[in-house]
Amino acid sequence: MLAAPGELATVAIGDLETEAGGVVTQAHIAYRRWGEPTGDLSGRNNILLVEHALTAGSEADEWWCEVIGPGKALDTNRYCVICTNALGSCYGSTGPASDHPDGGKWGSRFPAISIRDMVHAEHAFLSAIGVGRVHAVIGGSMGGARTLEWTLLYPEQVDYALVLAVSARASAWQIGMQTAQLDAITHDPAWQGGDYYGTGSAPDKGLAAARRIAHLTYRGEMEIDERFGTSPQAGENPLGAFRDEGQRFAVQSYLEYQGVKLTERFDAGAYVALTEALNRHDIGRGRGGLNKALASSKVPTMIVGVDTDILYPYHQQEHLSRNLGNLLAMSKLSSPVGHDAFLVEARQMDRILRTFVTLTEETPSTHDLATAHGLYEI
């Protein structure tokens, strides 16, 4: 039984052993859905699994409100859209801030997880609600990494995939930027080894600093410079005879605001867990390297990149498109915004998603081809 449309629901998936050998006991996955499922839940159906980015959650109708809904690109009159909250997050799925079965919060007892662990958890979730196959998996950024892993871990259960603004593995630059963010959090005295829950103190300063670093990678250099340049914050003067922390540039004030805003809605422990998972992202691990892993992909996959993306530069999506075993299409978002363009460039994303949906309706899936040729394995 699926939850009512738009309603947050949680599904128990049992114990989950991680890729590195840890165990998340009595794990749960939270989700929302829109639209009604039709067809065979273990065969051809209308289910679209949407994967969120780092600090988002299952409320995809809010963070992608321009493209999900009746008559929109992901038309909930025709498709059933399901969005889970990733394992390790803090919006309903089991993570560091969740209650531990033995009492207290998971905190430092929560094991390090990988993108693959998140996908295994989602697979267990779909099995628990009786879904054995989906029409498509769609995701950007961390959601794109999960989408890629879906096509390699469970190709028999995914008919099509759309991967946005991500790479085949974390680059050294990405790991460097992300470990700087982790250090900002774990060096905050309030971190307390990850066991700050219930102490009345949280590493908000560290989380805010991490967000300031991250936000610069989410936005385009051109956009930031055009918006702020060297302007001072209104009523302040950062060019005085001595440095004064209360006298800021406008961009500094903006980033401080972004940092504080995140502390009001997100958990530092979850941020550490998910960022560490992104550091571990590497589809070539255990599969003979990146290109061999990509070449083995059988799921028809569309790749989308952003021309000004600093975090996941466009050449990384070009690498995916050149080496994927079953490339459906390639598209480029042109925007000064940078990485976040897939979230804010509504008109371009509407066109890209409508094109993707049309391609899935016109292009035979691997299942279709296997059936046509009398094959039963893909």
Task: Show which residues are catalytic.
Answer: 141, 309, 339
Parallel, antiparallel or unpaired: strands 80-84 and 23-34? antiparallel
d(C-alpha 307, C-alpha 323), whole Å: 19
**In this structure, are residues 39 and 322 in contact, taking their beta carbons and an 8 Å threshold?**
no
Residues 6+ apart with CB under 8 A from 309: 165, 220, 338, 339, 341
Neighbours of 224 (CB within 10 A): 18
Instruction: Count CB atoms within 10 A of the CB of residue 123.
Output: 17
Which helix (H) or strand (E) is 336 found in, with range?
none
SS3 sequence of 178-235: HHHHHHHHHCCHHHHHHCCCCCCCCCHHHHHHHHHHHHHHHCCHHHHHHHHCCCECCC
Residue 99, helix vs strand vs coil: strand
The separation between CA 133 and the C-alpha centre of its own chain, rounded to angstroms, equals 20
| Cβ–Cβ < 8 Å for 307, 342 | no
226's CB contacts (< 8 A; 6+ apart) are: 336
Q: Residue 68, Cβ neighbours under 10 Å: how many?
A: 23
> How do beta strands 74-75 and 68-69 pair?
parallel
Closest CA to 213 of 187, 184, 190: 184
User: Backbone phi, then psi, for 302, in 5-degree steps?
Assistant: -100, 135
User: Which tokens sit at 18?
Assistant: 């991680």
